Amino acid sequence: MRICIIEDEPVLREQLAAALRHAGHTVDAAADGTEGLYALREYAADLAIVDLGLPGIAGLELIRTARHEGRRLPILILTARDRWQEKVAGLVAGADDYVTKPFQVEEVLARVQALIRRAAGYADPVLRAGPITLDTRTQAVSVEGRAVELTSFEYRMLEYLMLRAGQVVSKGELVDKLYEHDAERDSNTIEVFVGRLRRKLDPEDRFHPIETLRGRGYRLQPEAPAADPARA
């Protein structure tokens, strides 16, 4: 998933960015409210982590503006422990959840995962689509019970497609979600990665988990298609 961190303390920002990248997310980081609002407008983030005490545009104002502009992504706020009024104001402004400082990075990661699942309509940390099982807590992937080793990029691609199983996902959307803004964006490389993912998930070419819709994108099958007797 693509996550936007808006936090002015550099050490904290880098720590969160590193932990989220390690957990398989794509991260955009902004050091003040103005840069943060720009990042939210420019990059299609799936979730934002917003410190309320920000220079430039304050966190509360940033959240109100983002919601006013119709941005519906989950927003997790970071607040000072002793300021309960701030938490309430943040939630009223449109945030979805909060973590108080100082925090353990693991707590932020757990809340991020929960918000992403809720936003996608899943309550279960284990995603399933046909024979594929993906555990978002351990990043373990298996097909019909057989463990599949994926690179971090392949994992992120599969998780994204599984959260949108049954829907058409365009190459452009995958580029936006999986590449960071400073990385080279090339939609042709997406084809290569989808091909690799297909071979790892379905080495015997049996159940075709990822459908290609010419000119439109890809669709992960939510259910295993009925076995084709002609291929058996």
Does 125 help bind Ca ion (rule: CB under 5 A)?
A: no
Chain residue whose CB lies nearest Ca ion: 53
Sort strands 132-135 and 140-143 into parallel, antiparallel or unpaired. Answer: antiparallel
Binds Ca ion (CB under 5 A): choice among 31, 38, 53, 83: 53
**Beta-sheet strand order (sheet of 2-6):** 26-30, 2-6, 47-51, 75-80, 97-101
**Cα–Cα distance for residue pair 162/158, rounded to 1 Å:** 6
Number of residues that bind Ca ion (CB under 5 A): 3
User: Minimum distance between the CB of residue 12 and Ca ion, rounded to whole angstroms?
Assistant: 8
Q: Which stretch binds Ca ion (CB under 5 A): 50-58, 115-123, 173-181, 207-215?
A: 50-58
The torsion region of residue 196 among left (phi > 0), alpha (psi -120 to 50) and beta comes to: alpha
Quick one: 51 or 96, whose CB is closer to Ca ion? 51
Does 8 help bind Ca ion (rule: CB under 5 A)?
A: yes
φ/ψ of residue 100, rounded to 5: -95, 145
Q: Which stretch binds Ca ion (CB under 5 A): 52-60, 127-135, 184-192, 193-201?
A: 52-60
**Cα–Cα distance for residue pair 160/1, rounded to 1 Å:** 7
Quick one: 19 or 44, whose CB is closer to Ca ion? 19
- Following CA atoms 103, 32, 35, 24 in sequence, which dihedral angle do they give, to the nearest 10 degrees? -20
Q: Which stretch binds Ca ion (CB under 5 A): 51-59, 65-73, 153-161, 180-188?
A: 51-59
Binds Ca ion (CB under 5 A): choice among 51, 86, 96, 173: 51
Residues that bind Ca ion (CB under 5 A): 8, 51, 53
